[in-house]
Amino acid sequence: MNAPLLDVRDAEIVFTARRGGVTRHIQAVSGASISVARGQTVGLVGESGSGKSTLGAAAIGLQALDGGEVLFDGTPMPAEGSPAWRTLRRRVQVIFQDPFSALNPRQTIGQSLAEPLRLHSMGPRRSWPDRIAELLELVGLNPEMARQYPGTLSGGQRQRVCIARALAVEPDLIVCDEITSALDVSTQAQIVALIADIQKRMGVALLFISHDLGLVRAIADRTAVMYLGRIMEAGPAGEVFETPRHPYTRALLGAAPIPDPVLEARRERIPLRGEIPDPADPPSGCRFRTRCPHAREECAKRTPLPEPAGGAIVACHFWREITGTEDRS
C-alpha cells in the first residue's frame, strides 16, 4: 500500500495559559492520529472545542506539536522558515473559516490571487492576468471581479475567491477549516458542491473540518470523529455514518436532523448529556465517559485504544456490546 500523503501520528498539543496567577495546561490534542491519501477527502467532525481546527493546523505545520509527528509525502514536517518549508507551503494550502477576514480589504481580488503566484514564482508576471481569470472561472466567478475589492462581494463570493487563492499554486492538499460555518444554508451547499467538483477534476486531497455531519457525509471518502482532543472513531464515511459504533458517534448522528419524517420518527436517539469537560482537567480513562450513557467503572480506569471494527477503528471498551457485535475480527 502506498504511504499516505499526510500522516499525523499520535499528535500531542498542550497550550499553557495563565489567569489570576494560576497556570493551566490545556490538552487540546492528545494522541490523535489521522491520515489523508492522495486525491482523497477526509472529514474531521466533532463538537466545538473538540480540537479539530488545532489538529488541522498541526497537520500542515501551522501549529507546533508537543509530541508525535507529522509526515507529508513520507517526510517529516520541515522546520518553519527552512527551504523545505517554503516548498511545502506550495504543496499544502488552507481555506479558513471566515471569508470576511481572510482577504485583505485594501487589495483587489486580482491582487489577492496574484500574491501566491508571486511568492512561489508561478510563471512570468505577464501570464498572471490569464491565470487569475482562469481561477475565477474555475470557482464560478466572473473574471471581471478581479478589479473589485472584497467589500463589494457577498460571503459566498469571498469564500470562492479564497478557494481560488488556495488552488492558485496547484497544491496536493487543502485543509478546509469550517469553510461554510459563516455562510447561509443555501450558500453552504453551493460551496460544498464546488469543492467536491474541484476535488474530482483536479485530484487534490482534502482534509475537510466541520461540525456539520450532513456536509461531511456529502463530501468525504473517510471520516474521523473527534472528542476532547482524541479520535473516537474513524473509517470509510459510509461505514461510520451507516453503522456507527462509538457511543459519541451514535449520539452525534442521533442529534442531527433528517429531512425524511418517516426516518426521523424511526431512528434511535441517544441522549448526549452535559457539555464537553474542561480540557485543562479532562476525565480519567475514556474522555467521553462523563457524558456516555454506557459508561462503567472500567471506563474511568483505562483509556480505550483504537481497535479494528470492520473497516473502521473505534476507541471504546464496550462497542461490541453496545452495538450487538460479536465478531472480534
Total domains, the chain: 1
Q: Tell me if 173 sits within 8 A of 71, measured CB to CB.
A: no
For residue 85, the domain's CATH number is: 3.40.50.300
Domain-located, residue 11: yes
- Summarize the confidence of residues 160-183 as an average pLDDT: 93
Cα angle 39, 11, 238 (rounded to 5 degrees) comes to 40
Q: What are phi and psi of 62, to 5 degrees?
A: -90, -5
Q: What is the Cα–Cα distance from 241 to 235, expressed in whole angstroms? A: 10
Structure confidence at residue 181 (pLDDT): 86
Q: Tell me if 158 sits within 8 A of 99, measured CB to CB.
A: yes
Domain-located, residue 314: no
Q: Tell me if 26 sits within 8 A of 14, measured CB to CB.
A: yes
Provide the grid cell at 94. Answer: 488552507
* Amino acid sitting at position 209: I
Domain-located, residue 127: yes
Structure confidence at residue 267 (pLDDT): 60
| Tally of CB atoms within 10 A around 242 | 10
Structure confidence at residue 329 (pLDDT): 38
Query: What tens digit of pLDDT does each residue of 192-232 get?
Result: 999 999 998 999 999 999 988 888 998 999 999 999 999 99
Query: What tens digit of pLDDT does each residue of 222-262 get?
Result: 999 999 999 999 999 999 999 999 999 999 888 766 665 66
Provide the grid cell at 55. Answer: 489538529
- Summarize the confidence of residues 12-41 as an average pLDDT: 92
Domain-located, residue 203: yes
Structure confidence at residue 157 (pLDDT): 94
Domain-located, residue 20: yes
Domain-located, residue 121: yes
Query: Which uninterrupted H or E stretch holds 15?
Result: strand 6-19
Q: Tell me if 54 sits within 8 A of 48, measured CB to CB.
A: no
Query: What tens digit of pLDDT does each residue of 112-121 get?
Result: 999 999 988 8
Q: Which domain holds residue 138?
A: 6-243
Mean pLDDT lowest for which of 8-17, 74-83, 110-119? 74-83
| Mean of all residue pLDDT scores within the chain | 90
Domain-located, residue 166: yes
Checking if the pLDDT of 104 tops 50, the result is yes
Query: What tens digit of pLDDT does each residue of 271-314 get?
Result: 677 788 988 899 999 999 999 989 999 999 999 999 999 999 99
Domain-located, residue 123: yes
Sorted by sequence, the CB contacts under 8 Å of residue 127 that are 6+ apart come out as: none
